[in-house]
Amino acid sequence: MTLATLEVMKIVAVLYPAGEIARKTPELLGCAENALGLVDFLESEGHEFVVLTDKEAELDKHLVNADILITTPFWPAYITKERISKASKLRLILTAGIGSDHIDLAAAAAHKITVAEITGSNVVSVAEQVVMHILALVRNYIPAYRQVLDGRWDIAEIAAKAHDLEDKLVGIIGVGRIGQRVCERLKGFDVQMTYYDYHRLSTVEELVLGARYRMLDRLIEQCDVITINTPLTPHTDGLFNREILFRMKKGAYLINTARGRIVDTASLVQALEEGHLAGYAGDVWFPQPAPKDHPWRNMRNHAMVPHYSGTTLEAQRRYSDGVKDCLIRFFNGRDIEGDYLIVDKGKVVSPSYSYAFKS
Ligand code: NAI
């Protein structure tokens, strides 16, 4: 039971469409049809709840008098400075998931809009996916699977590019909640691990995770496998440009479940086509949904999937509960969980983003 606020609010959510699957799978909470399981709750509190799949005209129409906006990285509505300037009533933006880069955080701060995400909600889901992507590339799984579908049986063709993961040097860029869970899960594969982050871990933490710190330049040049697990910020936007991609070890693999824009689209295609990189995998693209002719759909040696790693059914339950918790607190004038806050009281406060947004 919550104490109902006297103020009736307009809450707008922009979520991915699911159609018939939504009815058959009520646990698919993150879709527009199941609306994060919030319909009964918000209606019982007397609020207006508008759920959209349209990220353009419909969103613009409703945003002008919305008090709260809920978005998700899996179907990102890009909340630009211009949109924020037109949303004069907007006080809270919640990200159902992790990663609020689809929101102009500086503009939100300037307009004193609170931005929060559901920190930790899907970190296990992504860490598991990272390990899967690493194995898919190193073991040459996708071409082998394709042979089966195509009715072929050519062991040499697959085995000539299949490796053991054991003893490989794996570099983790961004050793936060996801990066640390990747380390924990990779330990069983007897790899060597190294990491780069703004914040160096303590010696004890390094020992527990089995990963040693390395300067970014050296990590890039020396690793057999690199996984990117940082947020998208002004510092990481385009970080893997042509120069960095071609400074990676020849034949290395790159995994990116962080954000598509961290890797330069055209340069990645070139690095794969020229055989400099042996493979690329991940679930994040720019823009999203990726258009049918996105160059990454058909580049060589990739194992890309749509953006779903952080939206397993278990993760959807966790981030839906987190969104509800934020709403209850907000309606009752209580502080949102500190760990969830990205922008608060006119400042970018999340440790992961604030470094890049320092003036
Ligand atoms: P976190 O905040 O716990 O960890 C991020 C780490 O990156 C921190 O240790 C931070 O110091 C480090 N970092 C930030 N900027 C850096 C830079 N320029 N260079 C080096 N290190 C830097 O975040 P968490 O939960 O681990 O998530 C990381 C990112 O993963 C999210 O921001 C989001 O973009 C992405 N993500 C993707 C999902 C998917 O479904 N594919 C789901 C969840 C998150």
What are the pLDDT digits (tens) for 263-317?
A: 999 999 999 999 999 999 999 999 999 999 999 999 999 999 999 999 999 999 9
Q: Give me ligand 1 centre to Cα 171, in Å.
A: 15
The CA distance from 59 to 87, in Å, is 11
Looking at ligand 1, which residue's alpha carbon is closest to its atom 40?
Answer: 310
Look up 180 and say whether it is catalytic.
no
Which residue among 71, 74, 98 is best mutated to probe the pocket of ligand 1, counting the most ligand atoms within 8 A of its Cβ? 98
Using the mean position of ligand 1's atoms as its centre, give its distance from the Cα of residue 69 in Å: 22
- Helix, strand, coil percentages (3-state) for the chain, rounded to 5, are 40, 20, 45
> What percent of the chain lies above the pLDDT cut of 90?
96
* Mean pLDDT value across residues 45-73: 97
Could you tell me the distance, in angstroms and rounded to a whole number, from the CA of residue 103 to the centre of ligand 1?
A: 16
Nearest alpha carbon, ligand 1 atom 15 = 230
How far apart are the two ends of the chain, measured CA to CA in Å? Answer: 42
Residue-wise pLDDT for 17-57, tens only, equals: 999 999 999 999 999 999 999 999 999 999 999 999 999 99
Point out the catalytic residue in the list 102, 214, 302, 307: 307
| CA–CA distance, 74 with 286 (Å, rounded to integer) | 11
- Span 91-96, average pLDDT: 98
Distance CA 343, CA 358 (A): 13
Pocket-forming residues, ligand 1, beta carbon under 6 Å: 97-99, 122-123, 126, 173-179, 196-199, 229-233, 235-236, 257-259, 283-284, 307, 309-310, 352
Active site residue 140: no
The predicted structure's pLDDT at residue 357: 81
Kindly give the distance from the C-alpha atom of residue 281 to the centroid of ligand 1, in angstroms, as a whole number: 17
% of the chain with per-residue pLDDT over 70: 98
How close is the Cα of 175 to the center of ligand 1, in Å?
8
Task: Give pLDDT tens digits for 122-131.
Answer: 999 999 999 9
Cβ pair 42, 26 in contact under 8 A: no
Around Cβ 39, how many Cβ atoms within 10 Å?
Answer: 12
Tokens of 61: 């129409």
**Mean pLDDT for the chain?**
96
Tokens of 311: 């939206």
pLDDT value at 1 more than 90? no
Nearest-CA residue for ligand 1 atom 30 is: 258
| Distance between CA atoms of residues 278 and 255, nearest Å | 11
Tokens in use for 252? 């290395």
Of 3-7, 18-22, 78-82, 336-340, least confident by mean pLDDT is 3-7
Confidence of residue 105 (pLDDT cuts 50, 70, 90): very high
Quick one: pLDDT at residue 2?
45
122 is known as an active-site residue: yes
Residue nearest to atom 12 of ligand 1 (CA): 174
Domains of the chain, start order: 3-121+311-356 (3.40.50.720), 123-304 (3.40.50.720)
* Distance (Å) from CA 88 to ligand 1 centroid: 30
* Whole-number Cα distances in Å, 323 to 30, 118, 330, 337: 11, 7, 11, 11
CB atoms within 10 A of CB 207: 11
Catalytic residue among 288, 301, 302, 318: 288
Instruction: Determine the Cα–Cα distance for residues 83 and 193; give it in Å rounded to an integer.
Output: 43
Residue 301 annotated among the catalytic residues of the structure: no
Ligand 1 pocket test: pick from 72, 100, 178, 233 the residue with the most ligand atoms within 8 Å of its Cβ: 178
- Dist. CA 281–CA 171, nearest whole Å: 15
Which residue out of 122, 129, 180, 301 is catalytically annotated? Answer: 122
**Does 148 score more than 50 pLDDT?**
yes
